[in-house]
A and B are shown apart, each in its own frame.
Chain A
Amino acid sequence: MIEVRGLSKRYGEKIAVNDLSFDVVPGKVTGFLGPNGAGKTTTMRLILGLDYPNAGSVTIDGKRYASLANPMREVGALLDAKAVHGGRSAYNHLLCLAQTNNLPKRRVGEVLELVGLTDVARKRTKGFSLGMSQRLGIAVTLLGDPKILMFDEPVNGLDPEGILWIRNFMKALAAEGRTVFVSSHLMSEMEHTADQLVVIGRGQLLADCTMEEFIARSSGQTVRVATPQPDQLVKAVADAGGSAVNGADGTLVVSGLVAAQVGDIAFEHGVRLHELTVVRASLEAAFMELTADSVEYRGTENEQGQPPGSAQPGTQPGTAERPSELAAQGQHSREGGI
């Protein structure tokens, strides 16, 4: 368990992390999200003791990282795959790191096998592609067989095959009961891997919840309706307190009402329905909304910790237009629940 409490870090004038508190709970994949420059890497550096905080603390199972008896057996971290001496072979890179924690020499061969780098073990890492470097970085994290794994933007710059490999690897690690803490600026990446989310913007916490909660709270749900009598339905929905706008392919997107209410209203007004679908906002959209709000609300202290979407969906003015945009992003939307 990683416990972050009131963490703040300034670099000169710039506040990178501001009073951040959250937990990374065991046995789950926790996605650490935020736009570029939100303070994700800084937070990870603070967790590992690479940088010192100006205020607050981070503990791993109750201890500071630097006090852990054998750090590599507790935490495996990959912050920058290119942070290696290019003149050293993959084997020697792993060996010199394993030796610091008194790990057996044979472990080096095992982790090389695990990430599929055995054939290039004696090659100098200078010639490695980003994908190979990423595998080497993951091999480092696995040396001590740790319970907690931390990855900073692990798929950044990788080709689709590399992304798939990393994604499956993280899933497998989580399936083994390990705690995985992984950062990304791409929501769509987390959508398939994370159980738990920590979202930050401008160094401050925006959300700390489960994936389901995040989607529900941030955007609520809308109902997509296909009908040959759209004008009648729009009016009926408006009368019932909801709102309907034109979506893609001639459908209507209704917000402020649940699917059952929409169906009942249509029945009462004799409107024929060809489709009635619950649409949940994609993570990407929810994330964009949340981080856009973090910019919008900057300076108003008491709004910061609270996800703006926690109010009832549909009751906020100006939200009616949004669902239609969401529905238009076909491949990012999840339909009919999770």
Chain B
Amino acid sequence: MSSVSSLEELQAIADKVIAQAVPGEQIEAHVTRSRETDIRVYQGKLEHFVSAQSQGISVRVIRDGRTGMSHAGVLTDVAVAEVLAEARENAELGSVDEWAGLAEPDGVAIVKQELWDDTLDAFDTAKKIEIAKELERQAVAADSRVRIDDANYSDNASEEAFATTMGIRSNGRTNNCYATVSVMADDNGETQTGYAYALGKNPAEFDLVEAGHKAAARATRLLGAVKPQSKRITVVLDPMVTAQFLSIIASTVNGENVSKGRSIFANRIGEEVASPLITLIDDPTDSRAYTAHEIDSEGLAARRNVLIKDGVLQMFVHSSYSARRMQTKSTGNGSGCGALQLVPGTKTQEELIADIEEGVLIDSVQGLHSGVNPISGDFSTGASGLMIRNGKTAEPVREFTIASTLQNMLKNVIAVGGDVDWLPARAAGVSLVIADITMSGE
């Protein structure tokens, strides 16, 4: 795949769709073709190997303030014509929305990213299977109490072309790969689980030894975990948990939620909404971010936006729609925040813990989708981790919840770590210390 001619072919399809626009009609066409490999290994044997190609087109039509959409998974002339016809029909049915419209080019320059890796593209299939097997071996070898749940290797490569009647036109290709491992650790009839992954531009960059050991350590360090007593306590969020927390905060600064009365931060620009230690930035142009990209879903250049500076709310992120509604400009966030990061502090996690007399290190959380309501701000989630006593980690704890409100959690941040981790997520992780959280256990 991935020849220049293939990209040109996709672009030609997108161009042809938008060229059919009649006066007064706006059309956006998005055409993709992708290929994936998915390998699972179990106890030294290949369990499954998935190899597949797919393609698709999605079309958005806006006419007289009404929006219609349609998509299909084939790119034949007939299918493409049907998709456009369906989107047009659907556009006749929507309500008139005075702010509906495609993004207008804003002249902001695209920051180039390295989104394609030739080594990955040419990587040998048998070696990919070997990687998953090696990751399994490393995890199991790390500790005699560890057994495997599964070890996986995945990669995908995609090409996409985009065109709109506003004059935006772009195409490009992206590939990425990762390996993951899930393990169980058993001791005295008790089982705990651990998970880790390896990342790199291509598989040669994977650190399989580290990933295997990390998964094993996460499982074994929870062995013997007890249910803690209920109390108000200081928590240290592990970088992976902080990244999940930030992705919830992202919805509260999304301009569309703000304009529709669904954000706890509406009308609060310029106010102190967080601890002065918090500076939150959305920057998909930072090439270290896993979700770094060049353009947003409407074809505008991605850009760096400072959302909260020293605890003070600076701005919301906008698509062209929410920007028109709120009389401002798109911030290059057609689909919300693209790559969040907190400006880090200087301390390691160990140093942060050393400053805490009694607390709990939150290793992982469970049920963010069911126990957090970004509209009311209520935050409640299942958790497991390690107690902190006199500046050191102590006994493991599980089957408890931590609860507060998003508003209070942001205000009660008492330290931000320096241990930035560029996780495979829409937010980078960093250790975060938050005071006055309710821990519910016994």
- The answer to whether A and B interact is no
Binding site for A on B (CB under 8 A): none
